A and B are shown apart, each in its own frame.
Chain A
Amino acid sequence: MAKRIDVSGLTAYYGSHKAIEDISMTVEPRSVTAFIGPSGCGKSTFLRTLNRMHEVTSGGRVEGKVMLDDENLYGSGVDPVSVRRTVGMVFQRPNPFPTMSIFENVAAGLKLNGSYKKSELEGVVEKSLKGANLWNEVKDRLNKPGAGLSGGQQQRLCIARAIAVEPDVLLMDEPCSALDPISTLAIEDLIGELKERFTIVIVTHNMQQAARVSDRTAFFNLAGVGQPGKLIEIDETERIFSNPSVQATEDYISGRFG
């Protein structure tokens, strides 16, 4: 199920503005890779190029290659819709569909794609909610609106919604930045469990979080305002946080940045 991502020479633009330049890296399957770096360095933009969400923004375009196992996501004839079914995404702010109940939210991916059997739906919803550690909290109110949950529960609902369509890769864009420490812990535990089944990439501003949850860490930086962001280095998390090979990484991690 989980797949390896191999990025080479990837450059992304917003209109004429170059947001990230010439990024190459490998993301291992069944592991957690964390992206860290200052605001505006292109972590989120890079993450969004991994499931072709970047081009949803007006003016967004991408050059380079993203190989998912042996398929290029940007190859000719590749349908972005099927890419997004394979590479799921969880956003910074919890965004459950306000018109739908908890059950419908989790089932949304299957229902909206129209490819499901009614009898399977309940099983999938239960399995996904259990996978997102939310089942016990909501099993008695599956028909209540999803927007009525707390922030942390909503974010786990969004994770359940993302894993319900059984993607190979799960991208998370600062999934805990809007949450309190307890909800954050719940989601970090969840990430630890999910990496058994998925390839996980997480963007975070919280370096302790990167150190806690990830196997490998990538550090992004930009030379100045208006300059494109670049990948400085990617390595085992332990190494990045103890003995990075680039000085800029050490400066950023130890807080001597700028």
Chain B
Amino acid sequence: MSNAVVDKNVPRHGSSLQQPRLPGWAPYALIVVSLALGAGLGTALGMGNPFQMGLFAALVFIIASYALGAVVEGGRQARNRLATSLVWVCFLLAVVPLLSLIWETVDRGRTVLDGYFLAHSMEGVQTILPGGGAYHAVIGTLEQVGLAALIAVPIGLLTAIYLVEYGRGRLAKAVTFFVDVMTGIPSIVAGLFILSFWIIILGFSYSGFAGAMALAILMMPIVVRSTEEMLKLVPDELREASLALGVPKWRTILKVVLPTAIGGITTGVMLAVARIAGESAPIVLLVFGATGINNNPFEGAQSSLPYYIYEQWQLGNEASFNRAWAAALVLIAFVMILNLVARGIARWKAPKSGR
């Protein structure tokens, strides 16, 4: 009975379970062919730059895999090939800008990036001449980001713990709402807020600390959100297991819930740090920028890497462009190292399941 129904829908090729398949090397051959066709088409239409050629090739690849699949293998396999090729093309489209950005930055940044660049400031350097460095900016970034993390991480962590473990009713809803709103605050607005509150109303002067406060405002919602998600991932069974042993709730959170989630929380905090390390708007407003070394974040103008890049780019000459690229490379490396450290910690602290 059911056999008859199935037989009607499946075209017979000898056996009903066997259907013609494209050979395994077919997609690779197709890639080569579409690249060649893309290049040819681009040249023929007079659009010779590699990006346009690549787009043509991608288009040819998608259409050709669908058509070939439809002819040889039938409808369902063809749609499968269409989806697969779309996923690959989109993946490449996403990766190309990233790789080209890293390539460009490394390529241009390495011309002046050396020990001297990392160990010297711009004090007394003629801006149109080569020389000088970003030491003062690196110090500024480290201090401002460090202070911001010192402010934002404890507040963010405790807020997330409140929301997940204790928060009920209106207060929790209100906190969640305002955290969401804070996530969307543009950095310049955070900077203006600290400017009007700390500098204009309270009368303090420009300092790294003022910038750090603005950065903390930007960082806090990210820490809350990521920590919240990580704490929610901890199964309730573990909390119950601990409570059933007669462990008080606060100790359960401290000794069972947080250690279980610590890997994810660290990753979240590091990502938040990476996000604020690249902020320049609040720094322009609150830290003012300096060419010399100022190790004290609580007094006087400082610089920071994003600000330094902006400043050097503004100067508009060969030497300053080189310095800007080098500083950009330092900033990317800083963020990348942070990410690697976070991954390391996450792996090291992850719940163990090995035997």
Contact = CB atoms under 8 A, between A and B. Distances in A.
Given A109-B246, A165-B246, A99 B351 contact: yes
Contact of A84 (B245, B351, B352, B353): B245
B243 A99 contact: no
Contacts of A85: 245-246
Given A112-B255, A147-B352, A148-B352, A97 B238 contact: yes
Nearest to A158: B241
A64 to B, nearest CB: 21
Interface in A35-70: 51, 53, 56, 58
Interface stretch (A86-94, A119-127, A222-230): A86-94
Nearest to B246: A85
A240 B355 CA distance: 44
A99 B352 contact: yes
Interface in B225-270: 235, 237-248, 251-252, 255-256, 259-260
B351 A88 contact: no
A55 to B, nearest CB: 10
A243 interface: no
A97 B246 contact: no
A124 to B, nearest CB: 13
A165 B245 contact: yes
Nearest to B261: A99
Contacts of B240: 53, 56, 91, 95
A145 B352 contact: yes
Nearest to A141: B355
Interface in B319-355: 349, 351-355
Contacts of A89: 244
Tell me whether chain B's interface is mostly helix, strand or loop, or mixed: helix
A179 B241 CA distance: 18
Contacts of B8: none
A56 B247 CA distance: 13
B172 to A, nearest CB: 12
A81 B248 CA distance: 6
Interface residues of B, number: 26
B143 to A, nearest CB: 34
A56 B235 CA distance: 14
Given A91-B240, A93-B237, A97-B238, A81 B246 contact: yes
Contacts of A181: none
User: In this complex, which of B235, B244, B248, B255 has the most chain A Cβ atoms within 10 angstroms of its Cβ?
Assistant: B244
Given A98-B353, A147-B353, A112 B241 contact: no
A30 interface: no
B168 interface: yes
A113 B349 CA distance: 23
B353 A161 contact: no
B354 A145 contact: yes
B355 A148 contact: yes
B87 to A, nearest CB: 33
B238 A144 contact: no
Given A53-B243, A91-B240, A108-B247, 15 more contacts: A53-B240, A81-B247, A84-B246, A86-B246, A91-B241, A95-B235, A97-B238, A97-B242, A97-B256, A98-B238, A98-B353, A99-B259, A109-B247, A112-B256, A113-B247
Closest 4 CB pairs of A and B: A85-B246, A98-B351, A145-B352, A89-B244
15 contacts: A81-B248, A84-B243, A85-B245, A93-B237, A95-B241, A97-B242, A98-B351, A98-B352, A99-B349, A99-B352, A109-B245, A111-B255, A113-B246, A147-B352, A161-B241
Interface of A: 51, 53, 56, 58, 81-86, 88-89, 91, 93, 95-99, 108-109, 111-114, 141, 144-145, 147-148, 158, 161-162, 165
